[in-house]
Amino acid sequence: MIKLIVFLPLIAAAIAGLGNKALGNIAAKALTTGALLVACALSWPIFLGFLSGETTAYVEPVLSFIRSGDLNVDWALRVDTLTAVMLVVVTSVSALVHLYSWGYMAEDPDQPRFFAYLSLFTFAMLMLVTSDNLIQMFFGWEGVGLASYLLIGFWYYKPSANAAAIKAFVVNRVGDFGFSLGIFGTFLVFGTVSIPAILEAAPGMAGSTIGFLGYRVDTMTLLCLLLFIGAMGKSAQLGLHTWLPDAMEGPTPVSALIHAATMVTAGVFMVCRLSPMFETSQTALTVVTYVGAATALFAATVGTVQTDIKRVIAYSTCSQLGYMFFAAGVGAYGAAMFHLFTHAFFKALLFLGAGSVIHAMHHEQDMRFYGGLRKHIPLTFWAMMAGTLAITGVGVAGVFGFAGFYSKDAIIEAAYAAGTTSGGVAFVVAVFAALLTSFYSWRLVFLTFFGAPRWAASEHIQHAVHDEHAHDAHHVAHEVPDEGAGSEPIHDQRGIDEVKHGTAGYHPHESPWPMLVPLIVLTLGAIFAGYVFAGAFIGAETGAEFWKGSLAFNEHLMHAMHGVPLWVQLSATVVMVTGLLVALWAYIIDTSIPGRFTAQFRLLYDFLLHKWYFDELYDVIFVRPAFAIGRFLWKRGDQGTIDRFGPDGFATLVATGGVAARRLQSGYLYTYALVMLLGLAAAATWAMVG
């Protein structure tokens, strides 16, 4: 069964990719989507078997892979609780994304290629989560990197898409270099790349030292930090995060798959899979905690000023990944995986819901040109509402809550219960980030679905309407509204009247059913995933039994988490309500507030709008010097030296010699006689001298 789950997407990808247009759109879509639906249907019984305790961990051999000296690598599929959780996350979201893409990509001419890439992406992630050794994990690790490059740059005729794909590829190579060094070091220390063998031997290496760059350092700290660098790249943690927002250049279904179920969750999965290693180094765990907390804070602050609907959700993903990492850093691996599980449902819902909005608004992604859409696309509106309620953590303890209410609150409480300095810092940051999450999430809802419609100001909509209507709409607004314009960026009263009375010539429409069905299914996950599975994932006794043998479950921390003071339990709810009220006041009641705020705090606004100037900083430190070195080596090294004295020099020498030789080939007898005479004279001279 596990072999079918893993290899069905690969087979479908190969057939759809190689068959391409000869296979046809319908056949390619049906094949790849059908394969994922089957894989999903086979994954849930495995997960439910572990949930009920009827299934135990096992390893399914595939083939013998590498035999080189002491390095023995067998290709095998490991199935335990951690794998089972990831199987349902990956296959469920991927299957729904495939189905959603039937509607979203209906007009694209390269549909077989797109669906082949999606299935290849899923296969690579399934290889990663079922890996029984680090080499196999690295194969899946690089596979999702390749597939992300192909999917982000799918619309290769767009320079921005190509740049985003290259950026994602290059930034991830930095993280992957650290990950590969971690794998090399682990093999050097343990003499094996088998994950079970490494985790069994890891406690015995605690306190040992190893030589690195001329110094003696703690062995497990070094190995864990190198491995964590890989996780930082794949899961877009602060410092290696810059590729993630630009990944929005790919089609929206790609964004949902990358952010919810595949690439960005790989780092969290890896840390949890290797949690017994990380448990041997408190220094490494502290670094993981601080990096996760910093990422959660950074991304949440930047998300508050974004106007592109997909970028708001992208920074939300970055922030939520920070939550998962600092949960792992304080030892709450079960809570980290629980948030990964629930986040997959509501984040996929939010991205696909955003895609439905974009589809309804003729590919307009700027929220400042939305407004009043709840009446025109009601199913999308309610789906986005469910996703927003889930990510902001709406619920009542002991009664019912949306998915994020259980998982995010559990992380916040675990950080406090850890009782460490890093845990205390993470708790404070988490509460503040939850406030910002509530604000930017409800800001998105209010700008998109409430207030006066602002469609006539959009250039995309102008091109979408009929010619005679487009001419009228052109006069409505000539400038992109500022963030401070709130829900009233249109300053021409005639334009306002046109929009209010539907005379601007464009009417948003609900998405087709292939796009709506996945939204409905994901809505159920966003509503019930936390309520149904909280006990298994983070219960003290039930969690210890559920996660047995698959990660380092801290039963003591889970007990402490459930016994934190009431004010800690209520902190997330209080800031959630506060963020909602602030967004309601600024974007519905008094829409002049954002403009006045940005005018008064312009430096802060610019700082956040420029994403803490990370891109500009990296451009100065890395990009420009790299281009300068490359240009120098190209102009002075390649062209000025190698070409000049190499192929170009020899070519010039041959050409010059050819010209001289042609002059000797005059066709006159006396010329040849003279040459012969000179030759004889030279030969005689050489003979006499010799």
Phi, psi of 296 (to 5 degrees): -60, -45
User: Does residue 533 sit within a domain?
Assistant: yes
Average pLDDT along the chain = 88
How would residue 687 be classed by pLDDT, with cut points 50, 70 and 90?
confident
Instruction: Tell me the torsion sign for CA atoms 486, 488, 492, 495.
Output: positive
Residues near 687 by beta carbon (within 8 Å), at least 6 away in sequence = none
- Mean pLDDT for 418-428 is 94
The answer to whether residue 365 scores a pLDDT higher than 50 is: yes
In the chain, the amino acid numbered 342 is T
Instruction: Specify the DSSP class assigned to residue 1.
Output: -
What is d(CA 507, CA 373) in angstroms, rounded to the nearest whole number? Answer: 10
Q: Are residues 594 and 628 in the same domain?
A: no
pLDDT of amino acid 136: 94
Q: Is residue 541 part of a domain?
A: yes
Q: What is the spatial distance between Cα 614 and Cα 238, in angstroms, rounded to a whole number? A: 10
Mean local confidence (pLDDT), 12-19: 93
Do both 642 and 515 map to the same domain?
no
pLDDT tens digit sequence for 163-197: 999 999 999 999 999 999 999 999 999 999 999 99
Indicate whether 345 and 484 sit together in one domain. Answer: yes
Tens of pLDDT along 52-108? 888 899 999 998 888 888 888 889 999 999 999 999 999 999 999 999 999 999 888
Task: State residue 460's pLDDT score.
Answer: 65
Residues 449 and 305 reside in one and the same domain: yes
d(CA 23, CA 146): 24
pLDDT score, position 506? 66
Give the Cα separation of 137 and 186 in Å (integer).
14
Residue 521 to residue 668: CA distance in whole angstroms: 93
What pLDDT score was predicted for residue 499?
40
- If asked whether residues 315 and 338 sit together in one domain, one would say yes
Residue 494 has pLDDT above 70, yes or no: no
Is the pLDDT assigned to residue 467 strictly greater than 60? no
Query: How open is the CA angle 238-241-247, to the nearest 5 degrees?
Result: 160
Residue 282 has pLDDT above 90, yes or no: yes
Same domain flag for 439 and 464:
yes
DSSP assignment string, 225-270: HHHHHHHHHHTT-TTS-THHHHGGGS-HHHHHHHHHTSGGGHHHHH
Element (H, E) at 457: none
Which of 2-6, 154-158, 275-279 is least confident? 154-158
665 part of a folded domain: yes
Instruction: Express as a percent the part of the chain with pLDDT over 90.
Output: 65
Do residues 527 and 648 share a domain?
Answer: no
pLDDT recorded at residue 463:
63
The H-or-E segment that residue 196 falls in is helix 195-201
* Spatial CA neighbour of 369 closest among 479, 249, 246, 516: 479
Do 537 and 397 fall within a single domain? yes
Going by the DSSP 8-state scheme, the letter that residue 216 receives in this structure is E
Report yes or no on 45 lying in a domain: no
Rg of the chain over Cα atoms, rounded to whole angstroms, equals: 30
* Residue 594 pLDDT: 92
* pLDDT number for residue 336: 95
Closest CA to 71 of 182, 181, 187, 177: 187
Distance, CA of 386 to CA of 408 (rounded, Å): 16
Whether the pLDDT of residue 477 is over 50: the answer is: no
Task: Report if residue 293 sits inside a domain.
Answer: yes
Residue 64 lies in a domain: no
> Residue 638 carries which side chain, given as an amino acid letter?
D
Instruction: Return the DSSP state at 79.
Output: E
SS3 64: strand
Residue 278 confidence (pLDDT) above 80: yes
Same structural domain, 409 and 537: yes
In the prediction, which pLDDT does 212 show? Answer: 80
pLDDT band at 675 (very low <50, low <70, confident <90, very high): confident
- Structure token pair of residue 115: 């669906």
What secondary structure does DSSP assign to 337-396, as a single string?
A: HHHHHHHHHHHHHHHHHHHHHHHHTTT--BGGG--SGGGTSHHHHHHHHHHHHHHHT-EE
Tell which residue, 376, 382, 406, 412, has the closest CA to residue 393.
Answer: 406
- Statement to judge: residues 650 and 598 lie in one domain: no
Q: What is the pLDDT of residues 391-415, one digit of tens each?
A: 999 999 889 999 999 999 999 999 9
DSSP notation for 276-321:
HHHTT-HHHHHHHHHHHHHHHHHHHHHHTT--BHHHHHHHHHHHHH
Give me the phi and psi of 68, to 5 degrees please. Answer: -150, 100
Q: Which H helix or E strand runs over 325?
A: helix 309-329
- Is the pLDDT reported for residue 466 higher than 60? no
Residue 690: per-residue pLDDT: 64
Q: Among 270-284, 397-411, 665-679, which is the least confidently predicted range?
A: 665-679
More confident residue, 238 or 485: 238
Average pLDDT over residues 239-266: 87
The answer to whether the Cα torsion of 368, 371, 377, 382 is positive or negative is positive
- Residue 357 predicted with pLDDT over 90: yes
Indicate whether 499 belongs to any domain. yes
Instruction: Give the pLDDT confidence of 554-610 residue by residue, as tens digits.
Output: 899 999 998 899 999 999 999 999 999 999 999 999 999 999 999 999 999 999 999
First vs last Cα of the chain: how many Å apart?
88
456 and 535: one domain? yes
**C-alpha angle 281/287/292, rounded to 5°?**
130
| Bridging pattern class, strands 395-396 and 400-401 | antiparallel
Check whether 662 has a pLDDT greater than 60. Answer: yes
Is there a domain that residue 372 lies in? yes
- The pLDDT-based confidence of 647 (bands split at 50, 70, 90) is confident
Q: What integer pLDDT is reported at residue 493 of this predicted model? A: 35
Model pLDDT, residue 459: 64
Please count the structural domains in the chain. Answer: 2
Domain region containing 652: 620-689
| In contact, 453 and 438? CB cutoff 8 Å | no
467 and 597 together in one domain: yes
Question: Residue range 417-441: average pLDDT?
Answer: 95
pLDDT tens-digit series, residues 312-356: 999 999 999 999 999 999 999 999 999 999 999 999 999 999 999
Mean pLDDT for the stretch of residues 676-683:
88
